[in-house]
Chain A
Amino acid sequence: MTTMQAISGTTAARLDGGSKIYGAGDTEVRALDNVTVEFEAGRYTAIMGPSGSGKSTLLHCTAGLDDLSDGRVYIGDVELGSLKEKDLTLLRREKVGFVFQAFNLIPTLNARENVLLPMLIAGEDHDDAWFEQVVGILGLGDRLSHRPSELSGGQQQRVAAARALVSRPEIIFADEPSGNLDSKSAAELLDFMRRAVKEFGQTIVMVTHDPVAASYADRVVFLEDGKIVDELHNPTTDSVIDRMRQFGA
């Protein structure tokens, strides 16, 4: 069986004193305010917080989709701020996987091509056994020749998850991956993501506002007004909801 050779305890990604400021003067908004956080390899981390707390900004900046106003971000040992656009693209292609809330797939490509997209872009061969295993687990085997428009919402998100996983990136960033799904499809997707961490040692960082989704993670980081205010380990839906209630207070 193929597994990620991740060693628990090493850091897959790290944000060091990261700030993201929009606007200036009176209209200045600190989406991230001097945040320091580590994402351990082989762990499933959820980021939670109310709307506008900066959780999506945290994800985008850590994933190299957006740049920090201040501070540093590392993926593995690589500091992203020092990378040129071209190297950043290569890093995303080789070391990072993405699952977005919606519009994850290229409509002109079929499911198989969408899963293999990062390798196709790189012009690299893929590991057939690993590919079969991933699509097998996700139950996509018979849908591979279909285009996204012929797939259900749940199937589309599973294809996106398979794409993120099949290139065996160092870290997968998921932005509300189950946000648009019914509860059954959401549960299937989240369960698969947890299996990827447990069985293959994959590292996943997921932004969500759903306590049920967060309960699939090993660790939940709570964000408010651009600052990390708390974290939970081995969360349950109830413990997350309890913690969330404190934001309203």
Chain B
Amino acid sequence: MIRTALKTVFAHKLRLALTALSVMMGVAFIAGTFIFTDTINDTFGQLFDDIYEGQDIIVQASTEFDVGFSGPPPIDEEVLDLVVAVPGVEVAEGGVQSSATIFDKDDEGIIPTGPPTLGASLTDDLRLAGNAGLREGRVPETGSEVAIDAATADSNDLVVGDVVKIETPVVTDTYEIVGIIRFGDSDNLAGATFAGFELETAQQVLDLEGQYSAITVIVEDGASVDVVRNSIAVALPEGVEAVSAADEAAEQSEALSESLGFLQNALLIFALVAVFVATFIIQNTFRIIVRQRQKELALMRAVGATGSQVVWMVVIEALVVGLVASILGLAFGFVIAGLLTAGMSAVGFDLPSTAATLAPRTIIVGMAVGVVVTIASAVLPAIRASRIPPVAALQDVDITLRMSDRRRTTIGVVLLVLGMGGILNGLFGDVVDFGPLDELTAIGVGAILVFLAVSMLSSLVVKPAARFLGWPMIKLDNMTGNLAVENSVRKPRRTATTASALMIGLALVTFFFVLGDSIKSSASASIEEGLRADYVVSIDGFSGGFSPALGDELREQPEIGAVTSLRFGFWDNDGSEDFVMGLDTDTVDETIFLGVVQGSTEALGEGGVFVQEDIFNDNDWVLGDTVPMGFVATGLQHVEIVGVFTEANVVQANYLVGMDFHEANFAGYGADLDFVLAVNAADGADADSARAVVDATASEYAGATVRDQVEYRESQENQVNQILVLFNGLLFLAVIIAVIGIVNTLALSIFERTREIGLLRAVGTSRWQIRRMITWEAMIVAIIGAVLGIVVGLFFGVSVTAALASQGIDVLSIPLGQIIGLVIFGAIAGLLAAILPARRASKLNILEAISYH
């Protein structure tokens, strides 16, 4: 029996290939996601091991809260004397690290997108330098010397002896390159640029005078790291800790994995969408196959096969398809991982490229999903197959074993109501308590139910929809158009399922279009309303900001009026990471409309915090209450609420503090950089000359970009657009799978209609007309899928946007152009899907076709 099943599989290679292809792509997406994130994890795990290579103990500030990416605050340099005095310490040195931007020969700052621009002290005891080593030259010895990483040097034609400009938080100066640094086998540290200074110089230019970021210790031969570490710990003052270098490497690596976990989950959701679409295709394929083999299966029953043997035959066929597809999917996963890396890099996250990591978990999950999904999709058609009575072998009738239309409609409606209920409940909450189901699960399950419901109900609309869509085709191409329309409605459920596979992907695309457009419109509206400044200076890329000196320079210019600095900061809000923005309270009212409803910005300048109104109300706070804010540098602070504001969109934070407060709680390790400057032209100043002054001043600072109101709005829209492109790129795979589904269904339908096509050819239909007939049919199916997807996507988009109104997305905007574009996309997808089946149909041998049984 197994042999019979296997024979069937291999007798239909094309069918096998097309079915396997849809499973393969789903598995590939899952495998690709795992490979991609595992590779990043491994790369960074290795990176941290390398950084601490050869080191035994790290002495650094201990922090109560661990938020943001800045690491612990600096420690006093006198701590070093305490450490050196501990018995068992062979060598101990302090070092500093912050940011420094190297300029190229064209006087442009070299800023990688994603990785940081590092500035640090360099030790001449290379045992303490991790895996860093000199490729050529020597370490800097004076205040005018620097060593830079080999990658930056090579890609910018910088060599030992060149003089380069480097910008640090304190000063922009020129230095002579005296050394080129490599890190183990890499030319840089995971893409970061690196400028190394002699220690005292580093302390000075990195704004860390009298301080160390950390002290690195190597213990004497034979001494126990743990024992020495304990001895050091005893000697240390409060707020400073000693940890083993190995623990520190592991901890940093783990922290990074955690932040990658979010990315992995997001990607897996897209992978699951692809798998979900694939199940539609596989199920449809098996249903058609079983129907086509009805006679064959009935004959097997007639000669004595039991119903369960027939089920097994179909399931074994599915198992083979699933196995083959999963193995291919795993292999193709490497390609997907490569595409993900390229995609991330396209939106600004440059990731270091290393050998891809294939973890056992990737293989197990990939294989399991591929095989289980395929078999699960085949089970229903298989059971249906087992119910074919033996007599069917003798009769030339189509024995329909399927759910009645009424039952299908009832189930569809019930699923639709449940699904929409789940989504709305998840979004707007509290209507029904699902207990363990949290909001996201309710929305996710709801969406799946809606998709299933629409695919069940859509068979009801296939006929009118096809006739409507086919009308222009019939006008344009009378006979072939007519045949195409009639063919597409012959098996409404088959057409509905095929279209539904496309519906899923395009519904999500529509959803992102609506949500994205609403975010853009809301952002534009709030910028228009809330941004009073003429110009905004902000940092491009992901570094922390630019030197406050830029703001100070601007304030001195006669063409410039009010200048408001905004500084970003992470804090621990009851265990989760939150943001606070520090701002110049004496100018903010001139540059940014905050919508202050209680308190005043003058009062904020003296201390305390402003809270956004919705959060203020949700917490039932009153003025004078305190917010417990956990800071890395200063620990837990109970900060008094001195005001309430409404407009959080321009300042991009729900909590605002004065600049003095910000400096007190974030000072000393990089957060004292300006994140944004809101700049006004002076009263009566010429707009062009004011702009010229801002441009000229900002051009001296690496990464600082000047935009006027319109440009700033556009840049915010561009950010949303980039994310849209990324998301829709990820959904593209699900759409491709759906198009493969159309190819598959068409190919199988054409197989069923072999004699008919032969007859059409015999009575004078040209090959070209046959091709057109198939193409029209594919386009009808695809456009139905696109339109269904748009309808479902609009529901998702509108309800999610409505739910986010309180989060600042208060303008609902439906991008009609993009949605019409999707319909056209559907038509083109149908056109492409038809190419192969249409060619096959048009090339049928007439004589064989008309005598085909």
Real binding pair: yes
Interface status of B293 (Cβ within 8 A of chain A):
no
Interface status of A44 (Cβ within 8 A of chain B):
no
Whether A123 pairs with B478 at a CB distance below 8 angstroms is: yes
Interface status of B393 (Cβ within 8 A of chain A):
no
Interface status of B762 (Cβ within 8 A of chain A):
yes
Within 8 A of B (CB), among A6-65: 60, 65
Which residue on B lies nearest to A96, using beta carbons? B764
Binds A, one of B150-158, B366-374, B765-773, B802-810: B765-773
Proximity string of chain B (619-634) to chain A, C-beta cutoff 8 Å, 1 when within and 0 when not: 0000000000000000
Specify which chain A residues have a CB less than 8 angstroms from the CB of B761 in the assembled complex: 89
Whether A103 pairs with B490 at a CB distance below 8 angstroms is: no
Specify which chain A residues have a CB less than 8 angstroms from the CB of B759 in the assembled complex: 100, 103-106
Whether A121 pairs with B847 at a CB distance below 8 angstroms is: no
Max chain A C-beta neighbours (<10 A), residue from B479, B487, B490, B769: B479
The answer, among B478, B479, B763, for a CB contact under 8 Å with A92, is B763
In the complex, what's the smallest C-beta–C-beta distance from A110 to chain B, in angstroms?
Answer: 10
Give A123 to B768 CA distance when docked, in angstroms: 14
Specify which chain B residues have a CB less than 8 angstroms from the CB of A106 in the assembled complex: 483, 756, 759-760
Interface status of B846 (Cβ within 8 A of chain A):
yes
Give A238 to B756 CA distance when docked, in angstroms: 38
The answer, among B486, B762, B769, B846, for a CB contact under 8 Å with A109, is B486
Within 8 A of A (CB), among B720-777: 755-756, 759-767, 769
Interface status of B163 (Cβ within 8 A of chain A):
no
Proximity string of chain B (53-75) to chain A, C-beta cutoff 8 Å, 1 when within and 0 when not: 00000000000000000000000
Q: A66-B847, A108-B483 are in contact. Are A121 and B763 (CB under 8 A)?
A: yes
Whether B483 pairs with A98 at a CB distance below 8 angstroms is: no
Within 8 A of B (CB), among A92-131: 92-94, 96-98, 100, 103-109, 113, 117-118, 120-123
Interface status of B235 (Cβ within 8 A of chain A):
no
Interface status of B850 (Cβ within 8 A of chain A):
yes
Which residue on B lies nearest to A60, using beta carbons? B847
The answer, among B483, B756, B764, B847, for a CB contact under 8 Å with A122, is B764
Q: A65-B847, A120-B479, A123-B479 are in contact. Are A108 and B764 (CB under 8 A)?
A: no
In the complex, what's the smallest C-beta–C-beta distance from B556 to chain A, in angstroms?
Answer: 81
Whether A108 pairs with B490 at a CB distance below 8 angstroms is: yes
Which residue on A lies nearest to B477, using beta carbons? A123
Give A103 to B763 CA distance when docked, in angstroms: 13
Give A86 to B483 CA distance when docked, in angstroms: 21
Whether A103 pairs with B478 at a CB distance below 8 angstroms is: no
Whether A85 pairs with B767 at a CB distance below 8 angstroms is: yes
Specify which chain A residues have a CB less than 8 angstroms from the CB of B760 in the assembled complex: 106, 117, 121
Give A225 to B435 CA distance when docked, in angstroms: 83
Whether A90 pairs with B486 at a CB distance below 8 angstroms is: no
Interface status of A194 (Cβ within 8 A of chain B):
no
Whether A118 pairs with B478 at a CB distance below 8 angstroms is: no
The answer, among A65, A86, A108, for a CB contact under 8 Å with B846, is A65
Interface status of A72 (Cβ within 8 A of chain B):
no
The answer, among A66, A94, A105, A113, for a CB contact under 8 Å with B764, is A94
Proximity string of chain B (486-498) to chain A, C-beta cutoff 8 Å, 1 when within and 0 when not: 1100100000000
Which residue on B lies nearest to A104, using beta carbons? B759
Give A54 to B259 CA distance when docked, in angstroms: 77
Specify which chain B residues have a CB less than 8 angstroms from the CB of A92 in the assembled complex: 762-764
Within 8 A of A (CB), among B467-519: 478-479, 482-483, 486-487, 490
Whether B767 pairs with A103 at a CB distance below 8 angstroms is: no
Specify which chain B residues have a CB less than 8 angstroms from the CB of A120 in the assembled complex: 478-479, 482
In the complex, what's the smallest C-beta–C-beta distance from A52 to chain B, in angstroms?
Answer: 15
Interface status of A227 (Cβ within 8 A of chain B):
no
Whether B850 pairs with A117 at a CB distance below 8 angstroms is: no
The answer, among B483, B755, B763, B765, for a CB contact under 8 Å with A163, is B763
In the complex, what's the smallest C-beta–C-beta distance from B487 to chain A, in angstroms?
Answer: 6
Max chain A C-beta neighbours (<10 A), residue from B759, B763, B850: B763
Give A85 to B766 CA distance when docked, in angstroms: 9
Which residue on B lies nearest to A56, using beta carbons? B851
Whether B850 pairs with A100 at a CB distance below 8 angstroms is: yes
The answer, among A66, A107, A123, for a CB contact under 8 Å with B756, is A107
Whether B767 pairs with A89 at a CB distance below 8 angstroms is: yes
Give A131 to B847 CA distance when docked, in angstroms: 28
Specify which chain A residues have a CB less than 8 angstroms from the CB of B765 in the assembled complex: 89, 93, 121
In the complex, what's the smallest C-beta–C-beta distance from A167 to chain B, in angstroms?
Answer: 9
In the complex, what's the smallest C-beta–C-beta distance from A108 to chain B, in angstroms?
Answer: 3
Give A90 to B490 CA distance when docked, in angstroms: 29
In the complex, what's the smallest C-beta–C-beta distance from A149 to chain B, in angstroms?
Answer: 10
Specify which chain B residues have a CB less than 8 angstroms from the CB of A66 in the assembled complex: 847
Give A50 to B763 CA distance when docked, in angstroms: 27
Max chain A C-beta neighbours (<10 A), residue from B759, B762, B847, B850: B762
Whether B478 pairs with A86 at a CB distance below 8 angstroms is: no
Which residue on B lies nearest to A91, using beta carbons? B764
Proximity string of chain A (148-165) to chain B, C-beta cutoff 8 Å, 1 when within and 0 when not: 000000000000000100
In the complex, what's the smallest C-beta–C-beta distance from B516 to chain A, in angstroms?
Answer: 42
Whether A90 pairs with B850 at a CB distance below 8 angstroms is: no
Whether B762 pairs with A65 at a CB distance below 8 angstroms is: yes
The answer, among B486, B756, B764, B767, for a CB contact under 8 Å with A121, is B764
Which residue on B lies nearest to A173, using beta carbons? B762
Within 8 A of A (CB), among B385-435: none
Whether A108 pairs with B767 at a CB distance below 8 angstroms is: no
Give A118 to B490 CA distance when docked, in angstroms: 22
Give A120 to B479 CA distance when docked, in angstroms: 6
The answer, among B479, B482, B847, B850, for a CB contact under 8 Å with A103, is B850
Specify which chain A residues have a CB less than 8 angstroms from the CB of B490 in the assembled complex: 107-108
In the complex, what's the smallest C-beta–C-beta distance from A51 to chain B, in angstroms?
Answer: 15
Specify which chain A residues have a CB less than 8 angstroms from the CB of B762 in the assembled complex: 65, 92, 98, 100
In the complex, what's the smallest C-beta–C-beta distance from A155 to chain B, in angstroms?
Answer: 17
Whether A108 pairs with B487 at a CB distance below 8 angstroms is: yes
In the complex, what's the smallest C-beta–C-beta distance from A150 to chain B, in angstroms?
Answer: 15
Give A112 to B306 CA distance when docked, in angstroms: 46
Specify which chain B residues have a CB less than 8 angstroms from the CB of A86 in the assembled complex: 766-767
Give A133 to B764 CA distance when docked, in angstroms: 23
The answer, among B482, B486, B487, B766, for a CB contact under 8 Å with A89, is B766
Give A96 to B763 CA distance when docked, in angstroms: 8
Which residue on A lies nearest to B753, using beta carbons? A107
Which residue on A lies nearest to B756, using beta carbons? A106
In the complex, what's the smallest C-beta–C-beta distance from A175 to chain B, in angstroms?
Answer: 9
Give A133 to B850 CA distance when docked, in angstroms: 29
Give A14 to B748 CA distance when docked, in angstroms: 40
Specify which chain B residues have a CB less than 8 angstroms from the CB of A163 in the assembled complex: 763
Whether A93 pairs with B763 at a CB distance below 8 angstroms is: yes
Specify which chain B residues have a CB less than 8 angstroms from the CB of A103 in the assembled complex: 755-756, 759, 850
Give A82 to B697 CA distance when docked, in angstroms: 82
In the complex, what's the smallest C-beta–C-beta distance from A65 to chain B, in angstroms?
Answer: 5
Give A85 to B759 CA distance when docked, in angstroms: 16
Specify which chain A residues have a CB less than 8 angstroms from the CB of B769 in the assembled complex: 121
Specify which chain B residues have a CB less than 8 angstroms from the CB of A89 in the assembled complex: 761, 764-767
Which residue on B lies nearest to A86, using beta carbons? B766
Which residue on A lies nearest to B480, using beta carbons? A121
Proximity string of chain B (838-851) to chain A, C-beta cutoff 8 Å, 1 when within and 0 when not: 00000000110010
Which residue on B lies nearest to A116, using beta carbons? B479
In the complex, what's the smallest C-beta–C-beta distance from A234 to chain B, in angstroms?
Answer: 31
Whether B763 pairs with A98 at a CB distance below 8 angstroms is: yes
Specify which chain B residues have a CB less than 8 angstroms from the CB of A104 in the assembled complex: 759
Specify which chain B residues have a CB less than 8 angstroms from the CB of A121 in the assembled complex: 479, 760, 763-766, 769
Give A130 to B376 CA distance when docked, in angstroms: 58
Q: List 9 A-B contacts (CB under 8 A).
A: A89-B766, A90-B764, A92-B764, A93-B763, A93-B764, A100-B850, A120-B479, A122-B764, A123-B479
Task: Supply 12 further A-B pairs (C-beta < 8 A) apart from A85-B767, A86-B767, A120-B479.
Answer: A65-B762, A89-B764, A89-B766, A93-B764, A93-B765, A103-B850, A107-B490, A108-B486, A108-B490, A117-B760, A121-B764, A121-B765
Listed in ascending order, the chain A residues whose CB lies under 8 Å from chain B are: 60, 65-66, 85-86, 89-90, 92-94, 96-98, 100, 103-109, 113, 117-118, 120-123, 163
Top-4 shortest CB links A-B = A93-B764, A108-B486, A120-B479, A92-B764
